[in-house]
């Protein structure tokens, strides 16, 4: 008998493009209804196609069950994906909302990447240079090759935009290194060897580790305060990699209830973590007081946490299964959903 998890899915047949199973349509419609799709003039087929492409990227050559696909859909940033789809389709209203919501953020992110103030001309230039590629100007048609086509909603749009900015900056450094090496010569007139591009590293925010540590402490404190059953739900789903149905059988809930409760717990955890970060810490045992964070710093904490593989729910729960680690997509999904 052939193991379906190892078979090639229909979308590998170029003559028969793969799409999400019909059993997923109601969930896709629910996600679609929760976005401002109407005000952005985004049609359902476009959103459905984007989700199908995202599923192709997520599951690769494996044929997932409907249950796995539904669990994957539940982790997506649906509003961000709808905005990206609408922008890629050339919706003026979506672009207006995107500019209003993300332009200042991109300036701040570019400043952090360059270690310069957001208002520095270099930071503004790096951020604004991204818009033409996001707009997808090619052959006089907007959206034809928009970078938004590569966004699938698995991370937040903020996290994805920052990653794109970072990559553009690293590419610029590599290009500069390549041309510099051609111009520089040894004293005997021979060209110096081109430096390996793989060693070129993008600049890092000097406060990144401090913010990540604050986030780890806040998340650990928030997890400690959870009710036992809520801890069990998170532990079984994220640490032990159980399906919703398996979690439900273990704790005596229907899988739909498990899904709703997981979503509730994630919302409550985020609110608690934000509260801890904003509150700061009073001086204790002769140590210094730690000031609370403002909204921008809290947002930065969550962005860094979403990007950082070192924040491991296994460690926070201290209950790793022997010989089996949690799936990376589950770990990153948990961070991004917060």
Quote the CA–CA distance of 69 and 71 in Å, as a whole number.
Answer: 5
- Per the structure, how many domains does the chain have? 3
Q: Are residues 106 and 84 in the same domain?
A: no
Angle of CA points 45, 46, 50, to nearest 5°: 115
pLDDT at 196: 39
Judge whether 139 lies within some domain. Answer: yes
Region 280-287: what's the mean pLDDT? 71
Tell me, what CATH number does 253's domain have? 1.10.10.10
pLDDT of 139 above 50: no
pLDDT score, position 327: 45
pLDDT band at 8 (very low <50, low <70, confident <90, very high): very low
Confirm whether 15 is domain-assigned.
no
Question: Same domain for 215 and 322?
Answer: yes
Q: What is the pLDDT of residue 38?
A: 92
- Binned at pLDDT 50, 70 and 90, residue 280 comes out as confident
Q: Are residues 226 and 315 in the same domain?
A: yes
Cβ–Cβ under 8 Å, residues 133 and 168? no
214 and 323 inside one domain: yes
List Cβ neighbours of 77 (8 Å cut-off, separation of 6 or more). 153, 154, 155, 156, 157, 336
What pLDDT is attached to residue 307? 63
Residues 323 and 220 occupy one common structural domain: yes
Copy the structure tokens of residue 149: 């086509």
Alpha-carbon span 306 to 328, nearest angstrom: 12
Domain range for 32: 21-88
Q: Are residues 235 and 317 in the same domain?
A: yes
- 172 falls within a domain: yes
Q: Residue 192 pLDDT more than 50?
A: no
Which of 62, 88, 114 lies at the terminal end of a domain, its last residue?
88
Name the region of 313 (left: φ>0; alpha: ψ -120 to 50; beta: rest): alpha
pLDDT of residue 158: 87
Q: Which two tokens stand for residue 126?
A: 């790096």
Q: Would you state the torsion angle of the CA atoms of residues 308, 312, 315, 320, taken in this order, to the nearest 10 degrees?
A: -150
pLDDT at position 78, please?
A: 93
Cβ pair 19, 66 in contact under 8 A: no
109 assigned to some structural domain: yes
Residue 276, in any domain of the structure: yes
| Interval 319-328 mean pLDDT | 41
Assigned domain for 106 exists:
yes
Judge if 256 and 332 occupy the same domain.
Answer: yes
> Are 66 and 120 in a shared domain?
no
Is there a domain that residue 228 lies in? yes
Between residues 255 and 205, the one the model is more confident about: 255
Are residues 241 and 129 part of one domain? no
In a domain, 6, yes or no: no
- Percent of the chain predicted with pLDDT > 90: 13
Q: Can you read off the two tokens belonging to residue 120?
A: 């520095």
Spatial distance between the Cα atoms of 151 and 146, rounded to a whole number of angstroms: 10
Closest CA to 159 of 80, 269, 238, 75: 80
The pTM of this model reads 0.52
Q: What is the mean pLDDT of the chain?
A: 75
HEC string of the chain equals CCCHHHCCCHHHCCCCCCCCCHHHHHHHHHHHHCCCCCCCCCCHHHHHHHHHHHHHHHHCCCCCCHHHHHHHHHCCCHHHHHHHHHHHCCCHHHHHHHHHHHHHHHHHHHHHHHCCCCCCHHHHHHHHHHHHHHHCCECCECCCCCHHHHCCCCCCHHHHHHHHHHHHHHHHHHHHHHHHHHHCECCCCCECCCCCHHHCCCCCCCCHHHHHHHHHHHHHHHHHCCCHHHHHHHHHHHHCCCCHHHHHHHHCCCHHHHHHHHHHHHHHHHHHHHHHHHHCECCCCCCCCECCCCHHHHHHHHHHHHHCCCCCHHHHHCCCCCCCCCCHHHHHHHHHHC
Last residue of a domain, one of 171, 199, 227: 199
Supply angle C-alpha 77, 82, 87, rounded to 5: 130
User: How confident is the model over 294-306, as a mean pLDDT?
Assistant: 78
Whole-number Å distance between alpha carbons of 223 and 279: 17
Indicate if the pLDDT at residue 37 is higher than 50. Answer: yes
- For 56-114, the pLDDT digits (tens) are 888 877 778 888 888 889 888 999 999 999 998 889 999 999 988 988 888 888 888 88
pLDDT of residue 259 exceeding 50, the answer is: yes
Of 199, 234, 265, which residue is a domain's last?
Answer: 199
Structure confidence by residue, pLDDT tens digits, 210-234: 888 888 888 888 888 888 899 888 8
Residues 120, 60 share a domain:
no
- Which is more confidently placed, 305 or 151? 151
């Amino acid at each position: 008998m052939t193991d379906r998890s190892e078979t090639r899915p229909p979308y590998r047949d170029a003559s028969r493009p793969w799409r999400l199973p019909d059993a997923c349509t109601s969930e896709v419609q629910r996600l679609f209804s929760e976005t401002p799709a109407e005000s952005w003039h985004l049609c359902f087929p476009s959103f459905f196609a984007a989700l199908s492409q995202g599923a192709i990227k997520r599951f690769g050559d494996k044929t997932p069950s409907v249950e796995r696909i539904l669990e994957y859909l539940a982790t997506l940033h649906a509003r961000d994906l709808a905005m990206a789809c609408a922008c890629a389709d050339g919706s003026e209203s979506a672009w207006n909302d995107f500019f209003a919501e993300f332009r200042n953020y991109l300036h701040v992110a570019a400043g952090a990447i360059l270690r310069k103030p957001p208002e520095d001309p270099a930071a503004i230039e790096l951020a604004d240079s991204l818009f033409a590629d996001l707009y997808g100007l090619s052959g006089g048609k907007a959206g034809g090759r928009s970078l938004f086509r590569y966004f699938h909603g698995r991370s937040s749009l903020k996290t994805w935009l920052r990653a794109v900015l970072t990559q553009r900056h690293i590419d610029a450094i590599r290009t500069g290194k390549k041309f510099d090496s051609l111009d520089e010569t040894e004293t005997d007139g021979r060209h110096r060897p081109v430096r390996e591009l793989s060693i070129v590293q993008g600049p890092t925010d000097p406060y990144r580790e401090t913010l990540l540590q604050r986030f780890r402490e806040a998340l650990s404190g928030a997890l400690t305060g959870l009710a036992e059953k809520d801890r069990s739900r998170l532990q079984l789903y994220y640490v032990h990699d159980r399906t919703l149905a398996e979690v439900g059988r273990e704790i005596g809930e229907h899988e739909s209830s498990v899904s709703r409760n997981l979503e509730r717990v994630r919302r409550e955890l985020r609110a608690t973590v934000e509260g801890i970060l904003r509150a700061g810490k009073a001086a204790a045992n002769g140590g210094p007081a730690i000031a609370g964070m403002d909204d921008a710093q809290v947002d930065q904490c969550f962005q860094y946490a979403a990007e950082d593989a070192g924040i491991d729910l296994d460690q926070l729960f201290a209950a790793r299964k022997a010989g089996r680690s949690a799936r990376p997509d589950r770990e990153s999904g948990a961070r991004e959903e917060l």
